[in-house]
Structure 1
């Protein structure tokens, strides 16, 4: 077994580091842009007088960094070459995401906005795999240059993780001789609606509550009459771009149907494993950052005449966290490598439990590492002059989003006990 990373990947990490230092760091320091990352970050990012939304100058800075990364050939790295990407593997993406997060807060990678100079762009692949020829030709270029932005309307106020009891419904309706659908319902946590040009909205078009069959995805222009942002939910980690959205007598033509009619949940699941393994790697990197910063501080800080690090009460909790980081890194990279050898259906049937394990444990580990870093640093660690409170507040979200950790553990449990997966028990 060879645990060495491929040379082309380590070379690419060095190339990314050079790009960050030459292009991204100077932009981060320019015009007091550092206010978005130092102790002023929450106030600098958040327009508290405008529903708590991200300030326009903050989002403009993120976009400028992404444009620089795209020009340099980095932004589309995981996408196929047909989209200007480099066919980046799952293994490569986990290594890159961990590497970025381990650098701490910065313009190179800020997951509060799902921003990175090496982006995911899952909607591009969804359009390739599920879109009609017309949808593909209309949307893809705009998705890549960000002139089109798609929100994702799946979760509902009364059902959370359970999409199968969806109450948003669409019924057939013809207008002016054009076949279409009339949508009524509500969606929750529809991230990015403040700038989205369209919302991929999941609706029940047939079937009974609780059935996965009968749910359809539709691409709804955000300006369609009847689409309304009811409120933006203020969160533990501001700014917010997570609204509750109502759909009241919203009519769309039949061409808005995205993917298979009545099998729309396949779209929601299509990129879930890639998202979860990469997000797990980000949490792992952030945990590593918290531990390393705590070690450096404990060696430098000298209360009562000796290094704080000499106290076992400081050493042992950090040793436990560092041990978990080392073990989890191996599982994440092994799982990502295995994903690269399989098709998406094979990943779902054979590796879904391992992806779930990586994700829920990494998110929990990151929160524990950030909490311990605050404790080691004392009062200054609790302040916003250190990044740990921000890391904690942000990564605490991931224990709920991308599949709550209970949902992830349920998936792992189903594989472990033979209800799902390659070792599924057969009742004789």
Structure 2
């Protein structure tokens, strides 16, 4: 399907749900899953193919935040996947969540990645909030009547998150926030901001977590960033200038914020790795289809042994990546001692390998792969940032090696 967009020809990238589900079986995406997991995996694949993929190029080109599509996803239970059912969540496991995000990302990585961040924020409120906080925020987040953003990174503190400078000074029954957050997904367009701020001294023990609502006086936003990918979600600075937030919006006790942030990120790393799996899954499909129809030197590229071997390597790396993500998801769900290391390993290995798969798929398309008429280039652009956010892959190496060197 093609349409005119700002005078340029743009292809609406559509994948038939049956084709993707068949490929899912070929690449063992459904292997080892229960009947229930296979069913909601199929629901997610169908939603990706029917509601996301046909609009993926337009969302990217026009930088549209597809609120109504995400609310449709929430009607399927995807707004609070691992939030408890008593406040509107689906109550599913981390493995279930990974399966869903992988499937959704075959339709649009950028949109699914935002949904994963939203889910992480909802889970943090559900897990660390009290009864009143859970009942106030979670139902609207799970239905996606309201959207959430995660606010940790600052202009001067990225990988060194514990050095953050945004302050929250207690005055009566309010905290007065001052400072700014950088690279916030959804910033300015979302309703709830889960903010890490300094209520005490230096280091991680001085950090607390506040939930800031959009209409709070003193809350403002920077300009919308122009990005290489992830264009279906806005990214802005979030700015606090004498922003008064009720003490009742604090998650946990003072000084617990850094721990809350890191526990959120453990799941976030699995989520973003799962989004990378979906991109790679779609790109293997696109590469295979291209090899079967593109002719050079009198025969289709599928007869070229070098390209056959490359496709085999791509499929093998995809399956290996999926197995690692699912092991990490299971470890986190079970609160195993190796969960943090496995989450870091999954994020490191899978985002690297899946980017390589997508990039190789683009190469297989030749010059066509560099045209915006072809979906493969958007997967490459959208997936590149996964090696940076939720903790850079260099930081993942630090976490893994530190845990190995401190094992008794």
Change (3 A) 1:326 1:145: closer
Contact 1:168 1:185 in 2 (8 A): yes
> Which residue of structure 2 aligns with residue 374 of structure 1?
362
1:360 match: 348
Is 1:206 matched up with 2:194?
no
Counterpart of 2:66? 59
1:370/1:230 Cα in 2 relative to 1: closer, same or farther (>3 Å)? Answer: same
Structure 1 position 7 matched with structure 2 position 11: no
Match of 1:187 in 2: 181
Q: Displacement, 1:173?
A: 2.3
Judged with a 3 Å threshold, the aligned counterparts in structure 2 of structure 1 residues 218 and 372 are, in CA distance, closer, same or farther, namely same
Matching of residues 121-160 of structure 1 within 5 Å: 121-160=119-158
- The answer to whether the 8 A contact 2:75-2:143 is kept is no
Cα distance in structure 1, aligned partners of 2:205 and 2:71:
42
| Aligned-partner Cα distance in 2 for 1:281–1:405 | 15
2:92 is aligned with 1:88: yes
Paired with 1:266 and 1:11, the residues of 2 have a C-alpha distance of: 35
Q: Distance in 1 between matches of 2:145 and 2:75?
A: 16
Give the match for residue 293 of structure 1: 286
Name which one, 1 or 2, has greater alpha-carbon Rg. 1
Q: For the residues of structure 2 that align with 1:397 and 1:256, how far apart are their CA atoms? A: 31
- Structure 1: state its 5+ residue gaps: 47-53
Conservation of the 8 A alpha-carbon contact between 1:130 and 1:260: no
1:156-200 Cα offsets, whole Å, 9 max, x none, are 1011121211111122324xxxx3222221211122222223322
Deviations 1:28-72 (A, max 9, x none): 69xxxx4x334x4432x32xxxxxxx3xxx5243245225425xx
Tell me, yes or no, if structure 1 residue 415 matches structure 2 residue 406. no
TM-score when normalising by structure 2: 0.83
TM norm structure 1: 0.79
Judged with a 3 Å threshold, the aligned counterparts in structure 2 of structure 1 residues 63 and 41 are, in CA distance, closer, same or farther, namely: closer
1:75 shift after superposition: 5.0
The Cα RMSD (Å) is 2.7
Q: Is there any run of 5+ residues in structure 2 with no aligned partner, and where? A: 1-30
1:338-375 deviations in whole A, cap 9, x for unaligned?
Answer: 333x23xx4xx422112211112211122212211111
Question: Residue 118 of structure 2 contacts residue 148 of structure 2 at CA under 8 Å; is this kept in 1?
Answer: no
SS at match of 1:189: strand
Instruction: Map 1:6-405; keep pairs closer than 5 Å.
Output: 6-14=34-42, 16=44, 20=47, 25=50, 34=54, 36-38=55-57, 40-43=58-61, 45-46=62-63, 54=64, 58-70=65-77, 76-101=80-105, 104-105=106-107, 110-112=109-111, 114=113, 121-174=119-172, 179-208=173-202, 211-237=203-229, 238-239=231-232, 241-340=234-333, 342-343=334-335, 346=336, 349-405=337-393
Q: What do residues 255-285 of structure 1 show as CA deviations (whole Å, max 9, x unaligned)?
A: 2322211221122122322222232122123
- Which whole-Å CA distance do the structure 1 matches of 2:249 and 2:68 have between them? 32
Q: Mark the CA change 1:310 to 1:189 in structure 2 (over 3 Å): closer, same or farther.
A: same
